[in-house]
Amino acid sequence: MSQKIAVIIGSTRPTRIGHHIADWFIRNVSDTHDLTFEIIDLREINLPFMDEPHTPTLAKYEKEYTQKWKALIDSYDGYVFVTAEYNAGYPAPLKNAIDYLSAEWHNKPAAIVSYGWGGGASASAQLRQVLERLKMRPTGVSPALVFGGDTFTEDAKLQDVDKSFAGNVEEVKMAAKQLVELMAE
């Protein structure tokens, strides 16, 4: 039976490339045994800044959008967080979306795919701390996609995601394999 994995695009900026990274990730791991990948785009989810009257640990969600977010997150067996690195951290909309919930994340496996001029290492490390605090089980491999001089056109458009990150394919396949292993535990 196939396990459902949400690939969560963490950036909502107008100039973001997370959707290209998420599509590229799925293309490169779609043959992973027993995993089905689906994209969750936080720009489309459009959660307001956390405004629930109760702490998420109580699971007393009053807002309709929080209840929909809870149901959506509950429908997955694991997650891949695709995150940009902005000013040495991960995007605020991603932190906000994670913080809306609590127990819904517990014991779920997760992988982090970060990207940026330095590969998003700081963002990935910070996100890992948050996931571990929420009792999630991150994969040991966290692919970090480093931008090179030929990653973007002169007008800052992503050129060729397959070419730019060809050296990371085995790493993303390993992260997907580790998701399978974590779900089997």
Tokens at residue 90, please?
A: 């991960």
d(CA 153, CA 16): 14
Q: Which H or E run contains 44?
A: helix 42-45
pTM comes to 0.96
> What CATH number is attached to the domain comprising 134?
3.40.50.360
The residue type of 123 is A
Range of the domain at 57: 3-184
What pLDDT, on the 0 to 100 scale, is given for residue 144? 97
Task: With a cut of 90, say whether residue 149 has pLDDT above it.
Answer: no
Number of domains in the chain: 1
Reported as a pLDDT band with limits 50, 70 and 90, residue 155 is confident
Query: What does the pLDDT read at residue 78?
Result: 97
Average pLDDT, the chain: 96
Residues 102 and 135: their CA atoms lie apart, in Å, by 9
Contact assessment for residue 111 and residue 138, using Cβ atoms and an 8 Å cutoff: yes
The average pLDDT across 165-179 equals 96
> For residues 34 and 180, is the Cβ–Cβ distance under 8 A?
yes
> What pLDDT sits at residue 27?
97
pLDDT at 157: 84
CB atoms near residue 68 (< 10 Å): 13
Q: What is the per-residue pLDDT across 53-109, written as a single tens digit (0 to 9) for each? A: 999 999 999 999 999 999 999 999 999 999 999 999 999 999 999 999 999 999 999
User: Which pLDDT tens digit goes with each residue over 99-136?
Assistant: 999 999 999 999 999 999 999 999 999 999 999 999 99
pLDDT of residue 154: 85
